[in-house]
Amino acid sequence: QQQVRQSPQSLTVWEGETAILNCSYEDSTFDYFPWYWQFPRESPALLIAIRPVSNKKEDGRFTIFFNKREKKLSLHITDSQPGDSATYFCAANDSGYNKLTFGKGTVLLVSP
Amino acid sequence: DPKIIQKPKYLVAVTGSEKILICEQYLGHNAMYWYRQSAKKPLEFMFSYSYQKLMDNQTASSRFQPQSSKKNHLDLQITALKPDDSATYFCASSHTGGEGTEVFFGKGTRLTVV
């Protein structure tokens, strides 16, 4: 049973557009949701994270929108740049454990 | 300078053999982890250690054995290797204390079992 689901599997946007990556989860005990990005042949790196006390977290062009009732969140990337092309992983964590459960990822391609 | 050092970067092993993947971190973290990533599966949690003690084990097979000789070391011994073990193995670390502490990943060891 997959605890964290991501959609779409892949996404292509034009430079300057807004990319929207979706994530949903099953376990109500999850209380920390980081997004990681991974470039080819690199390790995952933390991009931005949110906790359920907030329904929005913004960091520059990257914004997480969180809906606790529906157990859904989304990552919005505004003014997408070719350098944003990467695989984006939504993850979830049960407080106190730091055992991250990852989704399968969304491969984003930003075309110039 | 990389703060989480994994060795080797690439590893080719014969089916049935045994290998040890090395990990050292210099971030001053007390918690260390192993994750696995393959073409078939997303990033998959394997083990977590806190203050050199095993906290969580999500690996069904006993062929995978973490070894912590020092606070900042967490090696991974894999015995009786199978082709299905082919994957990139990431070592990671964080501060303890929960509440969404950032987990940092090493650059990984890419294991190929032939």
pLDDT one digit per residue (tens) for chain A, 112 residues: 569 999 999 999 999 999 999 999 998 888 899 999 999 989 999 999 999 889 999 999 999 999 999 999 999 999 999 999 999 999 998 766 668 899 999 999 999 9
CA of A91, closest CA in chain B: separation in Å?
A: 10
Distance CA B8, CA B11 (A): 6
pLDDT bin (cut points 50, 70, 90) of residue B101 is confident
Query: In 3D, which of B112, B93, B16 has the Cα closest to residue A98?
Result: B93
Residue B95 pLDDT: 85
Q: Which of B31, B43, B55 sits opposite A89 (nearest CB)?
A: B43
Distance CA B5, CA B92 (A): 10
In chain A, residues with a C-beta closer than 8 Å to the C-beta of B107 are 42-43
The mean per-residue pLDDT over the stretch B63-69 comes to: 93
Tallying the residues shown for chain A, one arrives at 112
